[in-house]
Amino acid sequence: MRFFQLILAWAFLIGAPLVIRAADAELRAPAERVAGEAAAGVEEGREKGLPQAAPVLKDFGFFKITNSMLVTWAVALFLIIFAQIATRNVKQVPEGAQNFWEWLVESLHEFLDSIIGHELVHKTFWFFATVFIFILFSNWVGLIPGVGSIGWGVPDANGNLHHIAHPLLRGANADLNMTLAMSMIFFVCWVVWALQANGPGGFILHIFGPKGDTTGLLKVLMIFVFMIVGVLEVVSILFRPVSLSFRLFGNIFAGENMLEAMATMNPALGWLFPIPFYFMEILVGLVQALVFMLLTAVFTLLICQHDEGHGHGETAKH
């Protein structure tokens, strides 16, 4: 049950709103104001396609609820309820929901075991499995008709409303707040796992220490070279949360904009044009979940594995 409890904790962590808001005041406007402007037919040159910042649906001052947060909570709640139902009456020969859930978790475990090893996957599987399952279902939920296509907008000169400027719901990973939150949580976990595997001294040595067996003047030169390489490595490590978050956000955000473009290209055939792209986005949702999980797993493996050329530093106590 520990895995499912961690899903619940994860849901609250990633639901916390990070402040990455656009400066445009229209994107911050409450839903009531947006609806009123739409009814009045006010056209103020809003951006076409999905807005980059998730519109705020309810502002409590210290806490803002956006449309992407609603989808985040809905997906997390669905996964928690489904996991509880699947494991409520565990049978020796699984069937139905239990069979699917066990297949999914066991497949992920075997897959990660073959990549990062049994010892490391035993320690970190809870994170990587949760990340993959949550991202996958969030991506697919964002493709459900109505998500991103029901909301408030501004009619054109003929009174027709073809573009929803402020959707009621928005794909969770089409919000940079969401993807950056997951990346930052991984970064914190990565630091903890690195210190557990290497100790403080070994962690520093792993980044700045010279690799290979050298002696004399060449060893002094290699120390200087690897000090410079270590600085570059630190910069790379600090930028990992940014690259992880923008990679996932960019692909999902672009996909949703593409689907909207296909749906609004010809209002009469708006139901037909997006269909082929829906199948592609289903595959993209799976690939992006897999890429995020694999990159975080490989980053963890690189810092936790030990080269034969130098020591581990302090040994972590388990």
- Round to whole Å and give the CA distance between 160 and 154: 9
More confidently predicted of 158 and 141: 141
- Round to whole Å and give the CA distance between 128 and 21: 28
Cα radius of gyration rounded to whole Å, the chain: 24
Residue 193 has pLDDT above 60, yes or no: yes
pLDDT (0 to 100) of residue 180? 96
Residue 43 has pLDDT above 70, yes or no: no
For tokens 């410079």, the residue is: 228
Backbone angles phi, psi at 59, to 5 degrees: -110, 110
**Rounded alpha-carbon distances, angstroms, from residue 144 to 10, 141, 148, 149, 256:** 23, 5, 9, 10, 11
Residue 143 has pLDDT above 80, yes or no: yes
Taking the domains of the chain in order of start, what are their residue ranges? 2-304
| Percentage above 90 pLDDT, the chain | 45
pTM of the model: 0.78
- Round to whole Å and give the CA distance between 125 and 118: 10
Least trusted range by pLDDT, from 145-154, 220-229, 280-289: 145-154
Least trusted range by pLDDT, from 20-29, 101-110, 191-200: 20-29
